[in-house]
Structure 1
Amino acid sequence: MRVIAIFISLFSFSFCFANDSTYTIKINFLYGSRPAKGYHEQESKRFGGIKGGHVNIEAGGRVLDFRPGNNPLLPNNKKPSGGFSINDSIYWNSQTDKWTAVIVPVSQEQFMTLQKLIDSFAAKTPYDYAIFGMRCAAASYDVLSKIGLFKEYPNPKNVATHFYPKLLRKKVLKWAEDNNYSIISHDGRSTRKWESDKGLL
């Protein structure tokens, strides 16, 4: 009887441990870019240019994006036109664009909290998208911090620290390397000049 009890206890522990460690999320980064020399007619300009790009969070087959609205210069938090949306996949071309994805293991509690945040933020954005305010990098950091992956910042500090995607990307890549998380990268087509991860800014 004692052997059976021990077996049940070990089985329950193993099940809980496995159940708590099999969840993953992805932090997706599109690199900033501009048309390469000689390709200005073939390639179009993109929002933000070489310091542009994008960040989103993927979990459970859903992608949470934070995108601009009609007037993205200054925030209008009372009547936001930009904000969070749920999509089925990343919007960039995974075959020809330059991107990096970081696969992060999370607990069941973190995963479920993220799912609730995705639903609530997409239903009612907590802040407007603004060039001089919350953008995709700061908004993504805000979400990740709310599930305990990073330290929470007040919005002004968050905006200043993660003003554009590269600033968040460098932090996330170092954090992922320190924790031995999987990093998947893809080089972009040669007809565009792509941002690099070198340099402080």
Structure 2
Amino acid sequence: MFKYLVVFLVLSVKLQAQDSLFVKVHFLYGSKPQKAYKKTQSKWFGGKLGGHVGIELDSNQILNFIPKGKFHIIAHKKNRHSTYTTHNFEDFYSIMGGNWQENKKLIIKIPISQKQKEHFLCIQKNYLTQTPYDYAFLGIRCGAAAHDILGQLGILKHFSYRGTIFKVFYPKIVRRKLLKKAQKQGWQIQKQEGTKERKWEMD
């Protein structure tokens, strides 16, 4: 009896460990200064349609896609001015400027399997080693890049390279998709409003 109890407890711990696996998708909302604060609040790239998005495997290391070098309007196949990098929580939410504690943010916690975790780690390793595409206005930017990874993990529908460019133009598209799924699946959502000195985009 004791032997079976021990086996049961060991299996329970293993199952709980598997169930506790998740990724966090981080969203920094796009914004622009309120009229009364244009002298003290800076303009952000993309304004209210900008913002930023990254993916974390519960490590305080948020994987995200950013430009590197001269900004390209049209994506280049070989001369890629882009990089995947990781930021901690504070650096990620201050990447556009301002006090990270005062910036509007959203975190969606998504349960994943062990296989999905291993796949994410493989993608992260490869993308950090060599950027897979250029960062460009008519190309892949942070929203499309996050969608690319989530699509490979089976969390969102996976698109082709061209499909990703045309269907995921900015982070809000990814955020809306995940919020809709979060409501259906019961995923955990954490949201913090931003400073009133800026106009923030809405969901």
Unaligned ranges ≥5, structure 2 = none
In the other structure, the counterpart of 1:168 is: 174
CA distance in 1, matches of 2:164, 2:137: 14
Please give the TM-score of this superposition, normalised by the length of structure 2.
0.89
CA distance in 1, matches of 2:155, 2:38: 40
Say if 2:14 is the partner of 1:16: yes
Please give the TM-score of this superposition, normalised by the length of structure 1.
0.90
| % same residue | 33
SS at match of 1:73: strand
Shift of 1:48: 0.3
RMSD of aligned Cα (Å): 1.6
In the other structure, the counterpart of 2:39 is: 41
Shift of 1:8: 5.3
Say if 2:185 is the partner of 1:187: no
In the other structure, the counterpart of 1:58 is: 56
Q: Is contact 1:86–1:118 with CA below 8 Å preserved after alignment?
A: no
Say if 2:146 is the partner of 1:148: no
SS at match of 2:36: coil
User: Relative to total residues, which structure has the larger helix share, 1 or 2?
Assistant: 2
The size of the alignment, in residue pairs, is 195
Alignment of 1:65-144 (within 5 A): 65-69=64-68, 70-89=70-89, 90-92=92-94, 93-144=99-150
Q: Partner amino acid for 1:68? A: P
Unaligned ranges ≥5, structure 1 = none
SS at match of 2:183: helix
Shift of 1:9: 4.8
SS at match of 1:80: coil
CA distance in 2, matches of 1:18, 1:37: 51
Q: Say which is worse superposed, 120-129 or 56-65, in terms of deviation.
A: 56-65
Q: Partner amino acid for 1:127? A: Y
